[in-house]
Amino acid sequence: MSAHSETEKFHYHEPGLQHQFEDMQQQEESVSIGMWMFLVQEIMFFGGLFTAYLVYRSRYPMAFAAGSNHLDAFWGGLNTLVLIVSSLTMALTVFYAQKNNRNMQVLMIVLTMFFGAVFLGVKAIEYTDKFDHGLVPVAGWNKRVPAHAGESHAAVKPCWEVDHNAPAEEHPNPRGEFQFTDCSLVKQAQDGNYLTAAERVGYFSNGQIDGNKFRDKVRIFYYLYFVMTGLHALHMVIGLGLMTWLLITAWRGRYNEDYYMPIEMSGLYWHFVDIVWIFLFPLLYLLGRHFMH
């Protein structure tokens, strides 16, 4: 009993220091390197998807451009800005924790959560739009548009002359299948003689552009779009969970200039998710813009 009290008396612990570390600096460096190792693995995780993107885009660039041109760059760009603002507020959360300012910490966490939620809201709008226009790459997962008897304009015209802005009745989709009828970019690339070897095989049947074969290549783009943005959105949801925890602990005044590592580490995660979107935005939304005239 007395020996224990002796050690307690002379062994001073800083409030945030876990007992397995010598001092705060060692603890902070250990925590940082652990988080960075996790982020490196996250980079490889998203890297696998970027590799799939690279392989298929290098083989079917026109299908990717055509698919991309049916994403709405306005929403994508708005979401990029929203995420950048949320990254700023996240960085400022760390700043105010280092300045012992509890109220501003709480405010910045709330703002970060707000912008994260706006991002997810915009994604919901976009996904709904894809659902309405038959662009979800899984049969039966799209809005069903009943066919009108005796009318099938879309099927009669060659696919490079289809008017994509035509009313929905001209694109009946009774089974909710993936639909993509506009192959004008293939025509353009064929006339300009810049189709890849894979495209010359992959889009044509008997020397004619085959709308169905082309649609299936565009479908690959939409698979990648949904998997990449979907996993990114999942990361955002997890990030919002982390923010909720930070909000509660920061509200209780847990963080100060001596102990703010949970905020710093959650910040690293949040910024990582922002960086992924910085790459997803041009690679998914903008890759075919320059073909639009």
Contact set with another protein (CB under 8 A): 29, 32-33, 36-37, 39-40, 43-44, 47-48, 50-51, 54-55, 58-59, 73, 77, 80-81, 84-85, 87-88, 90-92, 94-95, 194, 197-198, 264, 267-268, 271-272, 274-275, 278-279, 281-283, 286-287, 289-292
Which CB sits closer to another protein, 88 or 209? Answer: 88
Smallest gap from Cβ 85 to another protein, in A, equals 8
Which CB sits closer to another protein, 136 or 287? Answer: 287
Smallest gap from Cβ 264 to another protein, in A, equals 7
Instruction: Name residues whose C-beta falls within 8 Å of residue 236's C-beta, 6 or more positions apart in sequence.
Output: 116, 119, 120, 273
Which CB sits closer to another protein, 58 or 128? Answer: 58
Which CB sits closer to another protein, 86 or 181? Answer: 86
Smallest gap from Cβ 53 to another protein, in A, equals 10
Smallest gap from Cβ 197 to another protein, in A, equals 4
Q: Encoding tokens for residue 130?
A: 């894809």
Which CB sits closer to another protein, 28 or 129? Answer: 28
Smallest gap from Cβ 40 to another protein, in A, equals 4
Smallest gap from Cβ 59 to another protein, in A, equals 7
- Report d(CA 136, CA 90) in Å as an integer: 33
Write the DSSP string, the chain. -HHHHHHHHH----TT--TTSSSHHHHHHHHHHHHHHHHHHHHHHHHHHHHHHHHHHHH-HHHHHHHHTTS-HHHHHHHHHHHHHHHHHHHHHHHHHHTT-HHHHHHHHHHHHHHHHHHHHHHHHHHHHHHHTT-SSSTTSS--BPPPTT--HHHHS-GGG--TTS-GGGS-BTT--------HHHHHHHHHT---HHHHHHSEETTEE-HHHHHHHHHHHHHHHHHHHHHHHHHHHHHHHHHHHHHHHHHTT--BTTB-HHHHHHHHHHHHHHHHHHHHIIIIISTTGGG--
Smallest gap from Cβ 33 to another protein, in A, equals 6
Which CB sits closer to another protein, 73 or 240? Answer: 73
Which CB sits closer to another protein, 40 or 234? Answer: 40
